[in-house]
Structure 1
Amino acid sequence: MLFTIVESFSPRDGDRWITYCRWRGLAFTCFDSIDGILRPSLFDATEKDDWNHVVNQDCKTHLITDYDYAVHKQSEIGQGDLVGLRFSEHDQSDPRFLRFDLIDGYCDISLLTNWGNDVDSINRSLSPNALVLSYQTVKAIQKELLQTNGTDPHVEGCQIVSIYRLNET
């Protein structure tokens, strides 16, 4: 499992929340997507030791590889949600499992919550927490998007991610 520390986004955000839900055309009860625009990463690998605990690949240096280090960094930051994610070996039996997201090839934008506003299959499949319940459904959405928009830089290389709630501030 990898870890990230993201900004919170919820009904407590008032006008920002209302504006997003109105644009999206859906009523969410909470927001567990890891979309980088609505829930940007609060962690940036800037210290020398950070580089020993992150995914050293383009577009993924905000992902932390060590849980204890992630907890330490969240404590230093003093805010945000510590989220677990898996790009494979999804564990739906884990009590912390929230559901699935579909992240663009840049490992930043959710194709479910901040890209596919006009895609019926996405709108029908989103749960009240802005994620998709079943792997089969998110896989079908990914396949559809690759067939219809495969040359779009956000769709190209998109990845299914399972999301796990670890804690919230």
Structure 2
Amino acid sequence: MLFTIVESFSPSDGDRWTSYCQWRGLAFTEFGSIDGILRPSLLSDLEGEDWNHIDHENFRVHLITDYDYAVQKHHQIGQGDLVGLKFSEHDESDPRFLGFDLIDGYYDVSLLTNWGNDVDSINRSLSPNALILSCQTVMEIQQELLRTSNTDPHVEGCQIVSIYCPRGN
């Protein structure tokens, strides 16, 4: 499992939350997506020891490889949400599992929460936490987007990510 620290986004954000839900045309109760526009990474100005705990693959420097270090960084940053994620070996039976997101090839924009506003299959499938709860469903949506929007740079290389609440890891 990898970890990231992202800006919080929830109903407590008032007008920002209300505007987003109105734009989406959906009523969410919480927000589990790791969309980098709505929930940007709070990992910045990496230095020294940080580089020993960062996922260097494909320049994913906003992902931490070690849970204990992620907790330490989260405390050091003092805000945001610590999120666990997997790009493979998804485990829907894990009690920490929150759902699936579909992230663009840049590891930044969620095709579910910040791109596919007009895609009916996405809107029908999003749960109240802004994630998809079934691996089969998110795979079908990914295939649909690759078939219908494969020239869009966000769709090209998109990846399924399972999202977890890392507490109790």
TM range (shorter): over 0.9
Give the residue type in structure 2 aligned to 1:26: L
Whole-Å separation in 2 of the counterparts to 1:93 and 1:144: 26
Give the residue type in structure 2 aligned to 1:64: I
Q: What are the equivalent positions in structure 2 for 1:125-144 lying under 5 Å apart?
A: 125-144=125-144
2:47 match: 47
Deviations 1:87-146 (A, max 9, x none): 000111111100100000000100000000000000000000000010000000000000
Whole-Å separation in 2 of the counterparts to 1:46 and 1:4: 13
Deviations 1:53-82 (A, max 9, x none): 111134411000000110010010001111
Match of 1:85, SS? Answer: strand
Whole-Å separation in 2 of the counterparts to 1:132 and 1:32: 10
Deviations 1:9-33 (A, max 9, x none): 0000000000000000000000000
Gaps of 5+ in 2: none
- Please report how far the alpha carbon of residue 165 of structure 1 lies from its aligned counterpart in structure 2 after TM superposition: 1.0
1:73 match: 73
Give the residue type in structure 1 aligned to 2:159: Q
Whole-Å separation in 2 of the counterparts to 1:142 and 1:120: 13
Give the residue type in structure 1 aligned to 2:79: Q
In the alignment, does 2:146 pair up with 1:146?
Answer: yes
Give the residue type in structure 2 aligned to 1:124: R
Whole-Å separation in 1 of the counterparts to 2:106 and 2:130: 20
Equivalenced residues, count: 167
Whole-Å separation in 1 of the counterparts to 2:38 and 2:127: 17
2:3 match: 3
TM-score by length of 2: 0.96
TM-score by length of 1: 0.96
Whole-Å separation in 2 of the counterparts to 1:110 and 1:19: 18
Asked whether the equivalents of residues 45 and 62 of structure 1 are also in contact (C-alpha less than 8 Å), the reply is no
CA RMSD, 1 decimal: 0.9
Q: What are the equivalent positions in structure 2 for 1:1-150 lying under 5 Å apart?
A: 1-44=1-44, 46-150=46-150
Whole-Å separation in 2 of the counterparts to 1:89 and 1:32: 19
Whole-Å separation in 2 of the counterparts to 1:59 and 1:112: 23
- Please report how far the alpha carbon of residue 45 of structure 1 lies from its aligned counterpart in structure 2 after TM superposition: 5.3
Counting aligned pairs with the same residue, the percent is 76
Gaps of 5+ in 1: none
Q: What are the equivalent positions in structure 2 for 1:149-168 lying under 5 Å apart?
A: 149-167=149-167
Whole-Å separation in 2 of the counterparts to 1:60 and 1:24: 28
Asked whether the equivalents of residues 59 and 107 of structure 1 are also in contact (C-alpha less than 8 Å), the reply is no
List 4+ stretches of structure 1 deviating above 4 A: none
